[in-house]
Structure 1
């Protein structure tokens, strides 16, 4: 028996600043959901690759994880048409009428490698925030709790 082979895309959605604003938007009560990302991705595939592209990608496309706090997303797609999904993600401009710049951080063949890349990416982002704030190495802040919680959440994903 042959198993179904997948590719896992780890995508970070970077929010764009509003027109006339120089600062990126803060997190609000109304957050983007994984359903909204799936719908925007479907629309992007149909727009850029037509019904043929959606036919190739649609049956296997799933958003397995999305964190509104970090805007990090794990997307599963079949191995053969994964480049269509990858191109469609990079061509997306809006999700739920909010502007984002999608950044594909990692592509892997297993969910475990996508999880490890997501945890590593979260640690790098927190390290950048700490470097900007110029906090000492031993300083305890809310980021430790966030890293612990996100690591458990990402680690609990199942294929």
Structure 2
């Protein structure tokens, strides 16, 4: 018996701030990211690309607080999905820069990379706020909540 092997992409979506628009864009979620990924695959790789990626592509996790997304795709077509993420420019009319942070064969290593990245983000926020790293603030509670959500993911 052969098992289905996956690749896991850890992607950060960085919003591009446009000074000409003042209206706030709708919040991202996993379904909107999946729809944008599907459209990106169809636009850049056509039906053949979607046929190879579509069955295994799924957005397993998205955090609106840290803008981190975990995407699962089959091992063979993972390069098509990676390219589609990289070529993605807008989601629901709002411009984003996708930053692929990590690629792994297991969800466990992707979870560890996401947790490490979240800690780095919190450290940057604290540095900008000029607070000591040992200082207990609201970031600690949010970081623990996000870490628990990430660790609860199952393959």
Q: CA deviation at 1:139?
A: 1.4
Q: Deviations over 1:15-74 (max 9, x none)?
A: 0001448xxx9xx69311101100000000010011110011000000000111111100
| 1:68-91 alpha-carbon deviations (Å, 9 max, x no partner) | 111110000000010000000010
- Alignment root-mean-square deviation, CA: 1.5
* Match of residue 77 from structure 2: 81
The aligned residue for residue 5 of structure 2 is 5
Distance 1:116 1:136, change over 3 A: same
Question: 2:137 corresponds to which residue?
Answer: 141
Q: Distance in 2 between matches of 1:93 and 1:137?
A: 35
Q: 2:7 touches 2:105 (CA, 8 Å); kept in 1?
A: yes
Q: Is residue 2:40 matched to residue 1:48?
A: no
Q: Distance in 1 between matches of 2:95 and 2:139?
A: 26
Question: Which whole-Å CA distance do the structure 1 matches of 2:26 and 2:34 have between them?
Answer: 17
TM-score by length of 1: 0.92
Gaps of at least 5 residues in structure 2 are: none
Are 2:152 and 1:156 equivalent residues in the alignment? yes
Residues paired across the two proteins, number: 154
Q: Distance in 1 between matches of 2:111 and 2:82?
A: 18
Question: How far apart, in 1, do the equivalents of 2:46 and 2:104 lie?
Answer: 26
Conserved? CA contact 2:104–2:110, under 8 Å? yes
Question: C-alpha displacement at 1:102, in angstroms?
Answer: 0.3
> Deviation digits for residues 81-112 of structure 1, max 9, x if unmatched?
10000000010011121111000000000011
Alpha-carbon shift at residue 147 of structure 1 (Å): 0.9
Which residue pairs with 1:105 in the alignment?
Answer: 101
Deviation at 1:132, TM superposition (A): 1.5
